[in-house]
Structure formats: structure tokens, C-alpha cells
Amino acid sequence: MSEGRLLREYVKRLAQRIGRPVRLMEVCGTHTVSIFRHGIRAMLPEGVDLLSGPGCPVCVTSIEDIDWAIAFCKQVGGVIATFGDMMKVPGSDMNFFQARAEGADIRFVYSPVDALNIAVEEPDKEVVFFATGFETTSPTVAAVLKRALDERVGNFYIYSVHKLVPPALKALVEDKEVRVDGFILPGHVSTIIGSRGYEFLARQYKLPGVITGFSPEEIMQGIAMLLEQILQGRAEIEIQYKKVVRPEGNPQALRLLEDVFTLADSYWRGIGMIPQSGLEPAEQYSEHDAKQAFRLEFTSKPEPRGCSCGEVLRGVKKPTDCPLFRKVCTPERPVGACMVSTEGSCAAYYKYSY
């Protein structure tokens, strides 16, 4: 019998012994895509339900942040450099692609180093790197910000919309609408923060978590480890992805983040303000902080009427519960941010469920 077949049978036996419905949330967008691509939901026994959480940084970037970047281009005439998956994220009136068609200088880059190079090569322009991502990408941005200060690149700034995963998980478990029995924790983020960053889930909320790899076998093994904990009445943070993740994470990257950034309250699209869940440049880097350097005037609109992205990101609804899903909101014409990124829950449901 193959390893996959053995794992499926083992998960089925565990679920039967638990004898009640179990709701597990995968936090990482890459996990969401892998779960769909490999048909893992169909492999699970009845009573084991997987929910998708706020693990897509594109999805949780607020409308106001998109509006700020567009206003910067129009009012300052500078350059916004960003990753390509941000280009279709809706703002109040338009996305970056549409703003660029109207003359805004918005360029997509493959790394923050590319954005710094634009600033060096075009010293007459103010260049802002629109810095998105979780703990996985923020150390790279920190290194580039440090380099910009050291090399005195005075026309380079970052607009930080970096988000931290543990505070978002804390907000979720304290949300009375969210019902989760355990977490499939992200592999990439955990290479930076390790398992210790999630210990509060087990210690304070008695919820188990397993840091899991991305192959179907690794995800199924992670699910089995969670079900074992639930069956045994344990609540621990375990590492399935041991070939990459250590309990202490990456101390060098963590020190870099601590040196360059400071914690800040951050607004998560569809969820709201989460205390101490964002990163802003520390005081010694304030001259490269776009939010401090440029005071812009603009207004933002609320989330589109009928859009259920907030409930989807919190695991309260599935994308198919949204009245706009597939009828009005599609990857070609996304209404909500969850339909934009390939790691967004709605985009994954759209691509793999039909």
C-alpha cells in the first residue's frame, strides 16, 4: 500500500475515534493552493473540515494602502515599485494596472533590490517600494532598507504593509464567530519565526498546531498529527516540516527585523485593525519611511457591497458562500482581494473546484 493510501486510512481511523466534527484551518496561502491542487479535501473523511485563513498577504492589504500608492503617483509624480501580484488588487476606484494606464508610474519588480536599483539609476525620481508580505519576505526588505541608509540613497523609500502571522492568529481565536480545533501552520513563515512564535496558541488557548510542508504527503501527515493531538487531548505546537524549520527559527533574520523595524498596529483587509501586527521602519530609518516623508490627501471607500472576503479570511465562510463568487467576482474581474492572488482562497476555489 502506498504512503498516501496509508496516511488516508490512518486519518480516517483517527477521525472515527474522535467521533465529532473537527475544523482545521490552514493559515498559509501556499497550503491552500496545494490542498486544492492535490484534491486533499476529497481525501479526508466526513467530519474533518479544512478552512482557509488569512495567509495571503495580497488579500489582506487594505483598500487605503492601495489608494495611498495611487495618490502618491498622482500627487508626487514618483515611482511605485511592487510585486506583480499586487497589480490587480482593487482600491477604492481602481487597481495599479488601471492607474498605470492613466499615467501613474507603477512598475512591478521581482525583489526590493530591483526597486533600490531604480532609485540609484533614476536619482531625479522619488521611488517607493510597496513592501508587502509576511515574515518570510520582510527580512529581505529590512536588508535593502539598511543598504539604502548605508549607501545614502536619499530618493528611496518603503511603504510598509508587512504583516505578522501570530497576532492575526490571536485575533482569530478571540473572534467568537471563528470555530477552529487546530491550525496547519505555515512552513515558509516558520523558517523565520520557528515554532516558538505560536506557542501561545497551545499555552493560552489550548489549541494544537502543526507546522507543515507543502507536498500532499506532508500536509496529510500534518493533519494526522493534529488529529492525534485532538484525540489525546493534547495542545502542542509540533513541527512536521523538520527538514526546514527549527524551534528557534532563523535568529539572524529575527535580529535584522528587530534592528530595522518596529511593531505597529496594522489594518488587515476584511478583518480590521490588529494590534502590533505590522512592521514600520524604526526611528533610525525614518527618512526612508514613505508614510512619514509624504503627506497625501485622498479618501478611501469601504469594501464593495456584498463582498465576503472578510468572512472568508476569518474562516467564517467559504468562497462559495459569497453571493458575488463566480457570478460577478472572477480572477479576470476581481471584486475582492481574495480573488486576485493565486494564493487567495477565492481564486483557489474558482480554479480547482469547478
Question: CA nearest 83: which of 69, 102, 101, 73?
Answer: 69
152 and 81 part of one domain: yes
The mean pLDDT value for 123-145 works out to: 96
Same domain, 253 and 323: no
Q: Which of 283, 303, 323 represents a domain boundary (last residue)?
A: 303
Residues 20-45: tens digit of each pLDDT: 999 999 999 899 999 999 999 989 99
Cell of 204: 493560552
Residues 6+ apart with CB under 8 A from 63: 90, 91, 92, 269, 300, 301, 302, 303
Least confident of 6-20, 98-112, 180-194, 254-268: 6-20
Question: 335 and 231 share a domain?
Answer: no
Q: Which domain holds residue 327?
A: 309-352
Question: Do 246 and 342 have their domain in common?
Answer: no
**Percent of the chain, pLDDT > 70?**
99
Same domain, 245 and 296: yes
Model pLDDT, residue 6: 86
Q: What is residue 55's predicted lDDT score, i.e. its pLDDT?
A: 85
Q: In total, how many domains does the chain have?
A: 2
Assess contact for 165 and 133: CB atoms under 8 A. Answer: no
* All residues at 6 or more sequence positions from 106 whose CB lies less than 8 Å from its CB, including other chains: 69, 73, 79, 80, 81, 82, 87, 96, 99, 100
Domain containing residue 25: CATH number: 3.40.50.11740
pLDDT digits (tens, 9 = 90+) for 43-57: 999 999 999 999 888
| 316 and 337, same domain (yes or no) | yes
Q: Mark whether 154 and 199 lie in a shared domain.
A: yes
Both 71 and 129 in a single domain? yes
Does 304 score more than 90 pLDDT?
no
Domain shared by 266 and 233, yes or no: yes
Residues 206 and 266 occupy one common structural domain: yes
Helix (H) or strand (E) holding 184: strand 182-185
The span from the CA of 125 to the CA of 228, in Å, is: 57
Residue 313 and residue 299 share a domain: no
Query: Are 43 and 6 in a shared domain?
Result: yes
